[in-house]
Amino acid sequence: MATISFSHNHQPSDNRRGGSHHHRHGPVVEEIEGLIKVFNDGCVERPPIVPTVSPTLHPSAKATAFDIKLSNDTLIRVYIPEAAASPSVTLPLLVYFHGGGFCVGSTAWSCYHDFLTSLAVKTRCVVVSVNYRLAPEHRLPAAYDDGVNVVSWLVKQHISHGGYSSWV
């Protein structure tokens, strides 16, 4: 999308794609239009293309959702269907890694939140969504490391608590 801004002397300044993209952080060195801009100084901008939401669910959702911040600062969002309310029920666990090419995305994006709420209810699974660190600020394998840390944490929780019922 082209934008034209006017300076004090009312001469147009053309900022079209392909021109010199300058910003307070210097020129843009990499860009996926509408998703991410990487500036010369390493600053990264991601426009809010998808609304973010809290883990709060509508009362009719038939599930519970909440965030847990792990000791390594990785955030996970947990979805537990009503089916887990019975102590005699053991539900499977599904670990979900959102899309976005390791550069964009969040567990708090409304599209993932709505999808995972529905998935937890329909499949009767506990769903854990991993909010891994994004590139380019955190080069790979940081996102993989976050995933391994979450899975290791889940295994420890299962062993020490005999399941995931302590979350409910």
pTM of the model: 0.78
Say if CB 31 and CB 21 are below 8 A apart.
Answer: yes
pLDDT band (50, 70, 90) for residue 168: low
Q: Give which of 50, 66, 49 is closest to 120, Cα–Cα.
A: 66
Give me the amino acid identity at 168: V
pLDDT in tens, 72-86: 889 999 999 987 767
Residue 134 zone, left/alpha/beta (φ > 0; ψ -120 to 50; rest)? beta
Whether the predicted pLDDT of 134 surpasses 50: yes
pLDDT in tens, 94-125: 999 999 999 999 999 999 999 999 999 999 99
Dist. CA 47–CA 45, nearest whole Å: 6
> Mind listing the domains of the chain with CATH numbers?
63-161 (3.40.50.1820)
The mean pLDDT of 57-79, rounded to a whole number, is 91
Say if CB 38 and CB 136 are below 8 A apart.
Answer: yes
Whether the predicted pLDDT of 41 surpasses 80: yes
Direct distance between the N- and C-terminal alpha carbons of the chain, in angstroms, rounded to an integer: 47
Residue 61's alpha-carbon distances to 31, 112, 113, in angstroms, are 38, 15, 12
Q: How many CB atoms lie within 10 A of CB 106?
A: 20
pLDDT in tens, 2-40: 332 222 333 333 333 334 445 688 899 988 888 889 998
Dist. CA 4–CA 93, nearest whole Å: 51
